[in-house]
Amino acid sequence: MNDGASQSTLNPFEALVDYERRSLVHQPGMPEELEAPGLWRGIAFRLGDAMLLSGLDDVNEILRFPPLTPVPGTKAWMLGIANVRGNLIPIVDLRAMLEGEAERMTEKTRVLTTSVQGSLVGLLVSEVLGQRSFFEESLQGVTANADSPISRFLSGEVEIDVRRWGVLSMSELCQSAEFMQAAA
């Protein structure tokens, strides 16, 4: 079947099946599937002046700011509920919750969705900066701004391209007593 003469005797469907079979033999895999031992991948984002990373497994989706329905009787940082493709997602102003200062809405403002006890929640951030990778051995303890309100939710810090990034543990954040108490 590999010579040109036999190829011309195949009907179009058989030819397509043969092409697919041969292409799958040489498929190298998607970049996300190619693992380098000890390589950590995450989503980079900005929260006010803080440069942060969260693991790819922690972020379900990145959204533009959706229309919201306010929820009466909640703290100011609980912005409301968004209907995203039929899923009701509470949207939290992360900066307001942690620093007491509401996020300023711009074209770059985004919502990161994450799973909390089987339900989705959206975290409003200043800007998403793309994907970053680093080797796990370069992760260090939290030193810069250790007294910052967000530092208690950082699993460490890493330097990438001469910039210091905090690695935010979304599970620690979303399971904290403060996060779970959105009622005013």
pLDDT digits (tens, 9 = 90+) for 75-104: 999 999 999 999 999 999 999 999 999 999
Determine which of 21-25, 72-76, 86-90, 132-136 has the lowest per-residue pLDDT on average. 21-25
Statement: 35-180 belongs to CATH 3.90.230.10: no
Phi, psi of 178 (to 5 degrees): -60, -45
105-125: pLDDT as tens digits: 999 999 999 998 888 999 999
- CA-nearest of 112, 136, 135 to 124 is 112
What's the one-letter identity of residue 57?
Answer: D
Each domain of the chain, given as residue ranges in start order, spans 1-33, 35-180
Q: What is the pTM of this model?
A: 0.77
48-62: pLDDT as tens digits: 999 999 999 999 999
